[in-house]
Amino acid sequence: MTSHSHLSPSKLATRNRQACINILDKITKNLFRMFRNEGTTKEQITNKFFELKKELDKLWDVVLTGDHHREMRIYVELLAQTFESDFDLEVIRWLNMTKLNRLQKIKNQSEYKRKKPSKYKLRISDYE
């Protein structure tokens, strides 16, 4: 990473929060793709996961404000514990695809809530 000493503390916090969110998105998308692909090996999935998690660990002190992002971070931390233990990929594959789908639904609901008011804005003139 490059030095960001020229950024104000709030801009730096925003930049780090966005970087953290981007890494979380990248981790969950990669995991879903790898869990879905039945040819993915245990070694491939753990190597890729920990490669990406190293990036996330650099931002461990970033405060995430959205429920969805906090849920993603918790999921990643719990999965790290699973991957550090002796696990059976076939046993955890479908369970984790379900969890990742649930995380995606939470994300989609929050995006829908944000977009909904502007999309369905009513004007009094529409009823006159």
pLDDT digits over 78-111, tens only?
Answer: 999 999 999 999 999 999 999 999 988 888 876 6
Diameter of the chain measured on Cα atoms = 68
Model pLDDT, residue 126: 46
Range of lowest pLDDT (11-25, 74-88, 113-127): 113-127
Q: How far apart are CA 61 and CA 59, in angstroms?
A: 6
**Residue 72 lies inside a defined structural domain of this protein:** yes
Structural domains counted in the chain: 1
The token duo for 80 is: 């790290």
Write the CA distances from 99 to 10, 15, 80, 96, integer angstroms. 33, 28, 14, 5
Contacts of 9 (CB under 8 A, 6+ apart): none
Is the residue at 124 inside a domain? Answer: no
* Domain-embedded: residue 3: no
- Is 30 part of a structural domain of the chain? yes
pLDDT over 60 (residue 124): no
Domain of 105, in residue numbers: 9-114
* pLDDT at 31 (0 to 100): 96
Give the whole-angstrom CA distance, residue 20 versus residue 58.
Answer: 9
Domain for residue 120, yes or no?
no
**Does residue 94 lie in a domain region?**
yes
pTM of structure: 0.78
Q: Please check whether residue 18 is in contact with residue 44, taking contact to mean a CB–CB distance below 8 angstroms.
A: no
Confirm whether 128 is domain-assigned. no
List of residues 6+ apart from 66 with CB closer than 8 A = 110
For residue 122, being part of any structural domain is answered with: no
Q: What is the mean pLDDT of residues 100-126?
A: 65
Q: Is the pLDDT of residue 122 over 80?
A: no
